C-alpha cells in the first residue's frame, strides 16, 4: 500500500468520512468523493482498515487480566474505602469461580412410551424386523 492510500485510511479512521479522508490524503477536491468511495473498495485498503480497527479496539478495551490486576490493587489498598475493597474482592473471586449460582428448577417431565401407543400389528411388524432398526 502506498503512502497516499495509508494517509487516506488514517484520515478515514479519524473522521469516518471517505470524501473528507480523500481530501486530507491529497486527492483533488473535485474528485474526492468518487476517489474516497473507490478507495474503500480496494482489498488492501479494507484489510488495513480492519487491522487498524482491531488495534484501536484492543487498545481501548481492558483485558481480563488488566481488570483482575486493578481489582487486586484496589482490594489490597489500605487507603481505599472498605466497601470498595470488599466489592473488588467479591468481583475478583467471581472471576475465579469462587461463587456458584444455584438455580432450582421445579418442573414436571412427561415422557411417552412409543410402544404403548402402537397396535398389536405394528408391534409384530417391529418384532419381525429384529435388529435391522
Record the cell numbers describing residue 79, joined without a space: 487507603
At 99 the pLDDT is 78
Q: What is residue 118's DSSP assignment?
A: S
> 90-93, long-range: CB within 8 Å, 24+ apart, which pairs?
92/68
Query: Are 74 and 85 in contact, with CB atoms under 8 Å apart?
Result: yes
| pLDDT value, residue 131 | 59
pLDDT per position as a tens digit, 80-128: 999 999 999 999 988 888 877 778 888 887 766 777 778 888 888 888 8
Q: What integer pLDDT is reported at residue 36 of this predicted model? A: 94
Instruction: Report the predicted TM-score, pTM, of the whole model to 2 decimal places.
Output: 0.49
- pLDDT band at residue 1 under the 50/70/90 scheme: confident
Per-residue pLDDT, averaged over 71-76, amounts to 94
The architecture that CATH gives domain 3-60 is Orthogonal Bundle (1.10)
d(CA 54, CA 62): 13
pLDDT at 111: 66
Domain ranges for the chain: 3-60, 63-133
* Tens digits of residue pLDDT in 20-73: 999 999 999 999 999 999 999 999 999 999 999 988 888 878 888 889 999 999
Decide if pLDDT at 2 tops 70.
Answer: yes
Mark out the alpha helices in 1-133 (DSSP H runs): 3-15, 18-24, 32-39, 43-60, 64-76, 82-95, 120-129
Amino acid at each position: 500500500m502506498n503512502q497516499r492510500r495509508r494517509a487516506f485510511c488514517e484520515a478515514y479512521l479519524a473522521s469516518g468520512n471517505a470524501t473528507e479522508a480523500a481530501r486530507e490524503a491529497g486527492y483533488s477536491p473535485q474528485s474526492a468523493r468518487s476517489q474516497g468511495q473507490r478507495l474503500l473498495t480496494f482489498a488492501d485498503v479494507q484489510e488495513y482498515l480492519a487491522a487498524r480497527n482491531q488495534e484501536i479496539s484492543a487498545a481501548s478495551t481492558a483485558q481480563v487480566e488488566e481488570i483482575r490486576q486493578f481489582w487486586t490493587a484496589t482490594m489490597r489498598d489500605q487507603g481505599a474505602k472498605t466497601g470498595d475493597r470488599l466489592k473488588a474482592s467479591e468481583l475478583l473471586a467471581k472471576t475465579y469461580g469462587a461463587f456458584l449460582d444455584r438455580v432450582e428448577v421445579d418442573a414436571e417431565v412427561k415422557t411417552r412410551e412409543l410402544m404403548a401407543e402402537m397396535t398389536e400389528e405394528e408391534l409384530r411388524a417391529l418384532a419381525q424386523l429384529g435388529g435391522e432398526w
